[in-house]
Amino acid sequence: MTPYEVMFGKKSNNFEDWRTLNKNRMEEDLLYRAIEIRKTVEEVRPKAIENIEAAQEKQKDLTNKRNKRI
């Protein structure tokens, strides 16, 4: 999963022509997309938070080691 997908909950633009879609189909697609985004966020967010916390802890340890007081 790319950072774009984690942040926005969807794949990057695939350059579809949205002007040709009819309104009913568009509403169904929006509902489906909202459900898909919620599911993705619920699955991905906890792992992303774990990764962020691990990276922050690693950075904290490196900074403390570099700035060790005498």
Rounded distance, CA 63 to CA 14, Å? 41
Please state the pTM of the whole predicted model. 0.50
Extents of the domains making up the chain: 3-66
Stated as kind and residue range, the H or E segment containing 10 is: none
pLDDT 10s digits, 33-43? 999 989 988 99
Q: Using pLDDT thresholds of 50, 70 and 90, give the confidence band for residue 17.
A: low
* pLDDT value at residue 24: 72
What number is the average pLDDT over the span 9-29?
A: 72
**In the numeric block, which tokens belong to residue 49?**
């938070």
pLDDT 10s digits, 23-36? 677 788 889 999 99
Amino acid identity for residue 68 in this structure:
K
